[in-house]
Structure 1
Amino acid sequence: MSVEEGWIDYNGHMNVAYYVLLFDRVVDQAFATIGLGPEYVRARALSYFTVELHVCYLRELTAHAPVIGTAQLLGHDDKRMRLYLELTHAEEGWVAASAEELFLHVDLTSRRAAPFPADIRARLTAMQAAHAALHWPERAGRPIRLEP
């Protein structure tokens, strides 16, 4: 991915909203690999909604900066998924931002929480098992604080 000129704000760096946009693109790609893409939504009338998001802005991204996004599944249950995401400068290797996101699986007909179908639950279990080999992210579960 690349930072677009129109995403730069009056401070000369990428506006906070576009970090979230890039994280959303990473989520879409990661979830498509386990069958939770647009075709899943159309065929089953099921989807997932973000119910909580915590972003840490670590370094500024400027216009045209190349960015790589990663996703790590930290946990899941019958209806929820917890994901850790990072945006990294693709050439220089530093982490620009991280996010932790909680998703709720939803029946789009009733607009209520719904359990994952067995095939998706199996893929989530396999993804989580694979991601268990990764280190636990330092910023995962981090609260917002204002220390005196």
Structure 2
Amino acid sequence: MQNNSRGGTLVNPLFSTKQHVSPEWVDYNGHMNDAEYARAFSLAAEDFINFIGLDEMGRIEHSYTIFTLETHICYLKEAHEGEELTIKSHLLDTDAKRIHQFLLMENQEGELIATMEQMIMGMDQKEGKPAPFPEVVAKKIEEIYKEDAKREQPKQAGRRIGIRRK
């Protein structure tokens, strides 16, 4: 186990991190605001980026960072003030410079309450353009991907927004 940057816990070998719903995340409906789900997922994604070796020191050492290209959030259940959230990662695909990641948010009872699918890309900070992951990072990503590929793909993965017609 490792600690994340906010004092939560990272669990190996499959990545997960824990957070709590802070009071400022709760809206007038008495539950976590939709924008705060995005924040919670973003914080978890930062923890994942640290986990693969691109923490502050890794970014400096490699002159390399990660940009988010696209996200899609599904809201399934409410989260309330003080509630502990566990966010788990599942890598759906990867190549030399991109990761297609699926994050699953669970409440204290282990119920799935939200998901976020995202595409992230590695960037060479000196060149200011996309570039392959540094070798040590690429190896960590491949190790995670090999484990995640053995798991069942989340049913929400690959969804698109649209009004279903009968």
2:67 partner amino acid: F
2:65 partner amino acid: S
Q: CA deviation at 1:33?
A: 2.3
Residues 1:21 and 2:42 aligned together: no
Contact 2:85 2:106 in 1 (8 A): yes
Partner of 1:14, secondary structure, is coil
Q: 1:69 aligns with which of 87, 90, 94?
A: 87
Partner in structure 2 of residue 129 of structure 1: 146
Q: CA deviation at 1:34?
A: 2.0
TM-score in terms of structure 2 length: 0.83
Equivalences for 1:65-104 in 2 at 5 Å?
A: 65-90=83-108, 92-104=109-121
Partner of 1:110, secondary structure, is coil
Alpha-carbon distance in structure 1 between the residues aligned to 2:143 and 2:25? 36
Q: 1:42 aligns with which of 60, 80, 95?
A: 60
Provide the identity percentage: 30
Residues 1:53 and 2:71 aligned together: yes
Bigger drift between 132-141 and 19-28 goes to 19-28
Partner in structure 2 of residue 7 of structure 1: 25
2:80 partner amino acid: T
TM-score in terms of structure 1 length: 0.93
How many residue pairs were aligned? 147
Q: Structure 1: state its 5+ residue gaps.
A: none
Q: Which runs of 4+ in 1 moved over 3 A?
A: none
Q: Structure 2: state its 5+ residue gaps.
A: 1-18
Q: CA deviation at 1:118?
A: 2.0
